[in-house]
Amino acid sequence: MRRLIALLVASLLALVVSTGVAAAHAKLESMTPADGSSMAAPPTQVVLTFNEPVGSNGTQVAVRSPSGKDVATGDVQVIDNKVTQPVGAMVEAGKYLVDARVVSADGHPVTVSGSFTVTHAGHPATEPAGSSPATKDDSNTVTIVAMCLVMLVVVALAVVIVRRRPAS
């Protein structure tokens, strides 16, 4: 009986420790172009990097020109902790504002904002260094399902152990 209790306590402890990371809200680590940066040629996309994976459902990114027009084009792409928003032609010189809403691993919405400045209007868009196309991925769901399956196996094993023991 002591083994069973120890196994259940260890399983519960493992479950609680493993969900600690998922209980925190995602935080923005970096933005490309960098927040507050200035550049001559406009980018073709805005990339937001978070400290943990974020979900693709409900993710929205707006990139507003100095006149207030949203220049974001196409679908936002999420892969692990990177959110990529393609942008169209940025023909206005000035400050572009980036506002984003993502859903962190714990299911809570997180909003972030930043800005960058384009100094010369009319330049063709340029691809940021080190960028690559992103694909949609929701690894959070896989992790949660795997944890539930592990707990189910542990509970089933505990039931089998209790039933096999002869009554004293």
* CA proximity to 116, closest of 59, 36, 13, 26: 36
Hey, what are 73's tokens?
Answer: 């084009």
* pLDDT, tens digit, 9 for 90 and up, residues 85-107: 999 988 899 999 999 999 988 88
d(CA 126, CA 120): 13
25-137 topology per CATH: Immunoglobulin-like (2.60.40)
The domains of the chain are located at 25-137
Q: What percent of the chain stands above pLDDT 70?
A: 80
Least reliable range by pLDDT among 79-88, 98-107, 117-126: 117-126
Q: What percent of the chain stands above pLDDT 90?
A: 42
pTM of the model: 0.60
